[in-house]
Amino acid sequence: MAKVIMGKVRSNTQGDGRATLGTYLFDCLKKEGVTEVFGVPGDYNFTLFDTLQQCEGIKAVPTRNELNGGYAADGYARVKGLAALITTFGVGELSAANAIAGAYSENIPIIHIVGSPKSEKQKQHKFMHHTLMDGDYDAFRRVFEPISAYTAVLTPSNAMAEIPKAISIAKRTKKPVYLSVALDLVQQPLSTKVPKLEQAKTSESSLRSASKQARKMLKPAKQVVLLSDAKVKSWGWESLVREVAEKMQIPAASTTMGKGGFDESHPNHIGMYGGAFGSKKVQEVVESADCLIVAGFVPSDVNLANETAQLNPKKMIIVQPESVTIGGQEYKDILGEDMLRELSALGLTAEPPIPAADRPYNSGTQLDGSHPLTAQEYYPLIQRLLQPGDIVIAETGTFAYGLSQTQLPQGATYIAQGGWQSIGYATPAALGACMAAPKRRVLLFTGDGSLQLTVQELSSMMEYGCKPIVFVLNNGGYTIEKYLNFRVPVEDQPYNEIPGWNYTKLVEAFGGNAHTEQVRTIGELARAFHDSELQRTDKLCLIEMIVPDDMDAPEYLKLMSDELEKQEK
Ligand code: TPP
């Protein structure tokens, strides 16, 4: 990695060998495997950055703005399990609020650290820059309260209690936590002992009752199906859900938000479930099951395909991180992982053979095709080009819906903001993913409109030696929005058009050394991918996919748009 802030000279203590608030904070993060901290410096967080600069084994990764820093932290946490972000008081932290709220919504743990003005100034309620000029120093912490699992204002006397507590809450809830610290307190020595933290655990009696009830529902069931949803990924249950399907010999499908949580190359995986918008075959299997085990359920409009999903709660076993609901009855104080292990151990196996998988993109694509790019052709091609272990990042827009229907190879990590859907997320998230796993291949798929929000992070990626392959879908505007606003003819939606940028020239403007190609046909896309594969060993690659038909879109999105229009009438 070139030029990332470096400076590994001193140990993580102050001069006299004692830990300071700052060194303790970064030591705690390091113990959790966080070795990169995203963020933007400011005069209220200089002591945080200066301390970080001197810590060994953990470094700052500055981003071009705080929103991007938050998204990068999110992408990093999706690969490494936990991330950290440093912002400055008011202006910096509020810029990161969208990313933090997204992480809250999507169950991604981020330790958000805010540097605030000197404690004396705060006590005296002075009107300092970056404040609301009303002396209220708690205003921004309150902004973060509903979008963080925990907030605390650190001092040298509470840091040894608050920092481990905040990290433990972030890990348990998989949500962001907020820690603010005054500029002058970061380098002060600590003055308390670490209290023992309570860990969440399963109530044995509750688990026994749930297990008995589950057996009652499962035993007479003829067709049992597993549905793997969003929280499977956040809570790291990938191997547990696979084991349930294997031990019970049942088919498994994934929801849109849960994509990638169940190994899609596994013989029990039958495809993606998307209510009326997705595969009819998968819909039939899931909805006709007489017992449906749903792991990590998030009953959102995205997952329930705008309420077209027909899932009967009376036939469902819903396994959540700290509870289980069976046929509508909730059992509290059960860790989801314990319930999944229990289901695997029940010794119940299904009779019928696993139905054949439905993969919309398994049809062949002519790689030498010389006609203009269309979704119908490029998604099957993309699916063929994916490799085991890839990190695939899909931006909100037509790409997210199209890519949700691909079959991922084994060991692939799929990153998308399934529910929060903030455009601009994917590019900085790709920076985070590259930092978290420098040896893995990272493929970023972004629309042109989304890229225009957070494009600067291409420059961070080149600066720090990241080598993703970036696919920019140039369809000249917000195509997905044109599908979703069916009330008005497309010609009357000039607000859904965007300025035409020269995407391949961006990398030059950002001062980087990248390999770029512009492609207009499926044959050119296949060749560009092949070239990028050779070039990406030492540089970022950017492939601009020029699609002449601005209404070209994947089938899933078309069905969704039709259904939404019907529902509106
Ligand atoms: N602002 C934010 C921060 N997030 C949003 N989701 C939106 C606005 C609304 N929105 C959703 S998708 C989209 C917009 C504006 C357009 C995406 O366009 P593009 O990236 O070009 O993808 P395309 O659909 O054209 O493939």
| pLDDT for position 15 | 52
ipTM of the complex: 0.99
Q: Measured in angstroms, how far is the CA atom of residue 450 from the centroid of ligand 1?
A: 6
What pLDDT is stored for residue 7 in this prediction? 38
Q: How much distance in Å is there from the Cα of 423 to the middle of ligand 1?
A: 5
Atom of ligand 1 nearest to the CA of 498: 21
Torsion, Cα of 504, 505, 506, 508 (10° steps): 120
Q: What is the pLDDT of residue 17?
A: 63
Phi then psi dihedrals of residue 364, to 5 deg? -70, 150
Centre of ligand 1 to C-alpha 340, Å, is: 37
Can you tell me the distance from the alpha carbon of 110 to that of 379, in angstroms, rounded to the nearest whole number? 32
Q: How far is the CA of 528 from the centre of ligand 1 (A)?
A: 26
Question: Which amino acid, 375?
Answer: A
Using CA positions, which residue lies closest to atom 6 of ligand 1? 422
Pairing of strands 323-326, 329-332: antiparallel
Question: Which position has the token pair 């920092």?
Answer: 163
The structure's pTM equals 0.95
Q: Residue 443 — φ and ψ, nearest 5°?
A: -115, 115
CA distance 133 to 187: 27
Residue type, 27: D
Check if the beta carbon of residue 181 is closer than 8 Å to that of residue 115: yes
Atom nearest to 448 CA in ligand 1: 21
Query: Tokens 């830990």 sit at which residue?
Result: 19
What is the Rg, in whole angstroms, of the alpha carbon atoms belonging to the chain?
Answer: 25
Q: Which of 493, 495, 455 is nearest to 472 (CA)?
A: 455
| Rounded distance from Cα 235 to ligand 1 centre (Å) | 28
Atom of ligand 1 nearest to the CA of 421: 6
pLDDT tens digits for the chain (569 residues)?
Answer: 334 443 343 445 555 567 999 999 999 999 999 999 999 999 999 999 999 999 999 999 999 999 999 999 999 999 999 999 999 999 999 999 999 999 999 999 999 999 999 999 999 999 999 999 999 999 999 999 999 999 999 999 999 999 999 999 999 999 999 999 999 999 999 986 677 788 899 999 999 999 999 999 999 999 999 999 999 999 999 999 999 999 999 999 999 999 999 999 999 999 999 999 999 999 999 999 999 999 999 999 999 998 899 999 999 999 999 999 999 999 999 999 999 999 999 988 887 789 999 999 997 666 667 889 999 999 999 999 999 999 999 999 999 999 999 999 999 999 999 999 999 999 999 999 999 999 999 999 999 999 999 999 999 999 999 999 999 999 999 999 999 998 899 999 999 999 999 999 999 999 888 999 999 999 999 999 999 888 888 899 999 999 999 999 999 999 999 988 888 88
Task: Specify the pLDDT at position 10.
Answer: 43
Q: Which residue has the tokens 């104080």?
A: 333
In sequence order, which ranges of 292-409 are alpha helices (DSSP H)?
A: 336-345, 375-385, 398-403
CA of 482 to the centre of ligand 1 (A): 10
Cα–Cα–Cα angle for 256, 341, 291, rounded to 5 degrees: 55
Interatomic CA distance for residues 249 and 470, integer angstroms: 39
- What is d(CA 412, CA 398) in angstroms, rounded to the nearest whole number? 21
Q: CA distances (Å), 429 to each of 72, 83, 104, 451, in order?
A: 4, 12, 15, 12
CA distance 414 to 392: 5
* CB-based pocket (< 6 A), ligand 1: 395-399, 421-424, 447-450, 473, 475, 478-481
Which among 378, 396, 490, 498 is the best mutation to test ligand 1's pocket, defined by most ligand atoms within 8 Å of the CB? 396
Atom 12 of ligand 1, residue of closest alpha carbon: 397
Residue 393: name the closest of 74, 108, 90 by CA: 74
Residue 261 CA to ligand 1 centre (angstroms): 25
Residue found under tokens 């899609």: 264
Residue 265 neighbours by CB under 8 Å, 6+ apart: 388, 407, 408, 409, 410
Cα–Cα distance, 272 to 313 (Å, whole number): 20
DSSP state at residue 329: E
| Protein residue whose Cα sits closest to atom 8 of ligand 1 | 423
